[in-house]
Structure 1
Amino acid sequence: MMLGLPKSTEFNRRIPKAKFYENVNITTSLKRLFVNQIKNIYWRNKIASTTTNLIDGKYVTEIEVFEVNLNNSQVDIDLFKFIDSVISYHILYILEYNGKYQVWIGYKESTNIEKKISKVDRYYHTNWLEETELIVKLEGLNLDDVYENLVRQIAGDKLQSVNSTESLKQSVECEKQIEFLQKQINTIKNKIRKEKQLNKQIEMNTELKKLKSTLEKI
């Protein structure tokens, strides 16, 4: 029983890879990724109000669990982006390679609830794990809460919020801000190392202190 999910959610149906792209326009390079990187795809679980005692959320009505058997340990994120773009439901991926597993999930934001259009902003994943370590908890009363908690479980420390009232969206935005500031800090550090003029070094050091101070406040 994968991920320790309820038996009522089990689906266990193999999906031919071509099913994902046979009725949509797909680039040759993306099709090549499907062929070269993916061995098989199985639809393992369907987490929904019909398969659990959870109620539908405002944004999330189903979470599909796909097991993706890989041909090597590296996978191109464009594959997930494509699958998430053609399937309106939220998806949790279990990647398998040589008997080891990784769990991936995208932070999928709804851009149009009526038309069920959404986009994945970014992906989070676990380290490679043994099958016995593959456990996720369905926490929450509705599928919105369950999905948010799954993203936090899989993201781990990246989305640990200090404030318990902070929404998942706020946590993700905070993480983006931290990444942006860290990139700026690294860029300025490199410039300081290369700069020969003392007055410019002093200017850049002042800017560096400001950025570090902003980062510490987040």
Structure 2
Amino acid sequence: MFGLPQSTELNRQLPKKSIYSKFRLNTADRVRFDADIRKLTIIGEISPATVNIEAGENVTAFYVILVSLRTQDYDEKNIVLLSKLINQSMLFALEYEGKARLAVFCTKLLQAKWVPVKELKIKLIGLNLDAVWENIIIQVGNVEMEKGNTLEEQLAIDEEREKLRRQIERLERRARSEKQPRRKLEMVQQVKRLKSELSSLIKGE
């Protein structure tokens, strides 16, 4: 499935009751989880026993979980919750009405674009499972690695850039509607400082 070798295939149901029990979800949380997620299935195990790839120092195996959704407008917190269920690296294939997307948690939830289920492919690239897992995160998150950065460093830089962009957009909207000239000028100056900071981050200074 999803272009993975047949040797990796599993078909193991993951009962939602086990999630409710492990995290001691209250009734409201259970209702929200169930409203988003119809069924969970472990569909793949990537390990030296199933593929001709050596274990890494940090990643000795990872699992592919098919998440059958009830809605495309799901709460991302429910997917983050799943990532904490098992002390293993997990790649999620989210599926809804003939469309699918990959998702993985690495400091934050990273998600690929929706594509038709038949077009979704999981690429195993790397000499060991550490490299394979890192490349999957890069693929799913569409991460552009910059010279000299580790994946964790790159994700942190990207997050800071995105945070600055959101701040700039909010301030620019407020500045456009601000009536007091002095306050408007302060906002414009603040935007200028933030843009300078963002420019430095982009240039890697």
| TM score, norm. by length of structure 1 | 0.83
Asked if the contact 1:100/1:129 (under 8 Å) is kept, the reply is yes
Flag as ranges the 4+ runs of structure 1 deviating above 4 A. none
Structure 1: tracts of 5 or more residues without a match: 108-120
Amino acid aligned to 1:201:
K
Matches within 5 A, 1:47-58: 47-58=46-57
Cα displacement (A) at 1:24: 4.4
Q: Is the CA contact 1:136–1:153 (under 8 Å) kept in the aligned structure 2?
A: no
Q: Secondary structure at the match of 1:22?
A: helix
The alignment of Structure 1 onto Structure 2 pairs a total of residues equal to 201
2:137 corresponds to 1:151: yes
Partner of residue 196 from structure 1, selected from 171, 179, 202: 179
Partner of 1:136: 122
Q: Aligned partners of 1:79, 1:144: CA distance in 2, in Å?
A: 26
Q: Distance in 1 between matches of 2:57 and 2:88?
A: 12
Moved more, 31-40 or 43-52: 31-40
* 1:201 shift after superposition: 3.0
Alpha carbons 2:63, 2:91 under 8 Å: kept:
yes
Give 1:16's aligned residue.
15
Contact map agreement 1:30 1:79 (CA 8 A) in 2: no
Using structure 2 for the length normalisation, give the TM-score. 0.88
Equivalent runs, 1:1-218 vs 2, <5 Å: 2-107=1-106, 121-156=107-142, 159-163=143-147, 165-217=148-200, 218=202
Whole-angstrom CA distance in 2 between matches of 1:138 and 1:177: 29
What is the CA-CA distance between 1:64 and the residue it aligns to? 0.8
Q: 2 CA distance for matches of 1:128 and 1:86?
A: 24
Look up the match of 1:110. none
Task: Give the aligned residue type for 2:62.
Answer: I
Q: CA deviation at 1:61?
A: 2.0
CA–CA distance in structure 2, aligned partners of residues 92 and 53 of structure 1: 19
Distance (Å, rounded) in 2 between the aligned partners of 1:86 and 1:154: 20
Percentage of matched positions with identical amino acids: 31
